[in-house]
Amino acid sequence: MRKQKKRGFTLIELIVVIAILVALLLILVPRLTGFTSTAAEVQCRQTRQKVMEMVKAYEIKGEPVSITDLLANKDDEYFISTPQCSSGGKLTALEIKGVVTFIKCSIHGSNVANNLDTTPIGIRNTTMGIIEFLQNNKNYLVELTGNAGMNNSAIRNFIRDTVYGGSWPSLDQGVISAAGLSGDLKIQICYNNEVFKDNIINNENAIIYASSVEGKGKDNWGTNLIYNPTDNQWYTGKTTIYVMNHSWKEVSDLMSANNWKPVEYTE
């Protein structure tokens, strides 16, 4: 009786097996990469949070310390090892006393340390404080905003994404309802680009308005709610006003011409 030869894999069977393995790898690798990426982001956020908690701790002790010194671990005084992002992101600290304190990672974004004032005037003051800081510290401009020069879009994107975590603060629903509007309207600020060219950026040139569109991508800048800092009131009207590349005086004149009225609302 002859022994039967052991049958091996045919070429077609090998190709099928390899195809299945490749398909499994294509499914698993992105997931594993995603898990690694998420873990790195969490680690980076915790590192930044730890530094900011140290800032607060030193303030409570009555021994305030610069967040820049903490982040750089000056003289190895604060941490066993210098705080770093495991993904290799560059950590940059920005501290404007009384305005905002945060650490931004070039890969994972920022942590805001102090309680931000999200009222219309608070947003304006925060924006103005950051603009003044960047004007006096040009070396931070590209690092923080990604732009060599200041303009309306660069400042707005930086304030929205870095300071407010990706979205402008929401307007009180009571104000929205009193204005006869609906939805989640965001309190925003913009400037005419000419004020950057002429270096006349100030509170009087700021336009504070509310809109559901946050300036991401194409944006027509139309709004039916504009804040008047002179009398500390929101104004509304049926005619949509487009605020981009207008001065505050031009916007104010448009509000008057279109019979905009104060929003009657009391908290």
Question: CATH number of the domain that 199 lies in?
Answer: 3.30.1690.20
pLDDT at 84: 86
- The answer to whether position 265 is within a domain reads yes
pLDDT at 246: 83
Residues 242 and 127 in one domain: yes
- The answer to whether position 198 is within a domain reads yes
CB-based contact 92:44 (threshold 8 Å): no
Residues 59 and 169 in one domain: no
Instruction: Please say whether the dihedral angle defined by the alpha carbons of residues 150, 151, 156 and 161, taken in this order, is positive or negative.
Output: negative
Residues 194 and 108 in one domain: no
Count structural domains, the chain. 2
Neighbours of 262 (CB within 10 A): 13
Burial state string for 214-223 with b = 16 or more CB within 10 A and e = fewer than 16: bbeeeeebeb
Residues 235 and 130 in one domain: yes
Nearest one of 210, 211, 197, 194 to 250, comparing CA atoms: 194
pLDDT at 21: 84
- The answer to whether position 214 is within a domain reads yes
Residue 175's domain comprises 116-267
Nearest one of 198, 211, 263 to 242, comparing CA atoms: 211
Residues 65 and 133 in one domain: no
Residues 88 and 133 in one domain: no
- The answer to whether position 8 is within a domain reads no
Residues 104 and 120 in one domain: no
Residues 108 and 121 in one domain: no
pLDDT at 213: 85
pLDDT at 79: 82
Residues 174 and 103 in one domain: no
- The answer to whether position 216 is within a domain reads yes
pTM confidence score: 0.69
CB-based contact 79:73 (threshold 8 Å): yes
Q: Which of 72, 89, 115 is the last residue of a domain?
A: 115
- The answer to whether position 63 is within a domain reads yes
Residues 111 and 121 in one domain: no
Identity (one letter) of the amino acid at 111? N
**Greatest pairwise CA separation for the chain in angstroms:** 108
CATH of the domain at 92: 3.30.1300.80
pLDDT at 94: 76
Nearest one of 133, 99, 131 to 116, comparing CA atoms: 99
C-alpha distances in angstroms, 107 versus 100, 162, 168, 218, 245? 20, 12, 21, 25, 32
Residues 231 and 121 in one domain: yes
User: What is the chain's pLDDT, residue by residue, as a tens digit (267 residues)?
Assistant: 555 555 566 777 788 888 888 877 777 666 555 545 678 888 888 888 888 888 888 888 888 888 888 888 877 788 888 888 888 888 887 777 666 777 888 888 776 655 678 889 888 888 888 888 887 777 777 777 777 777 788 888 888 887 887 889 999 999 999 999 999 999 999 887 776 666 666 667 789 999 998 765 445 688 999 999 889 999 999 999 988 878 888 899 999 999 999 999 876
Tokens of 9: 């894999």
Q: Which of 83, 115, 147 is the last residue of a domain?
A: 115
Tokens of 67: 């967040």
Exposed/middle/buried for residue 144 (C-beta within 10 Å: 0-12, 13-18, 19+): buried
CA–CA distance, 96 with 159 (Å, rounded to integer): 14
Neighbours of 51 (CB within 10 A): 21
Beta-strand pair 100-105/222-228: unpaired
- The answer to whether position 220 is within a domain reads yes
- The answer to whether position 2 is within a domain reads no
Q: Which of 82, 115, 148 is the last residue of a domain?
A: 115
pLDDT at 183: 93
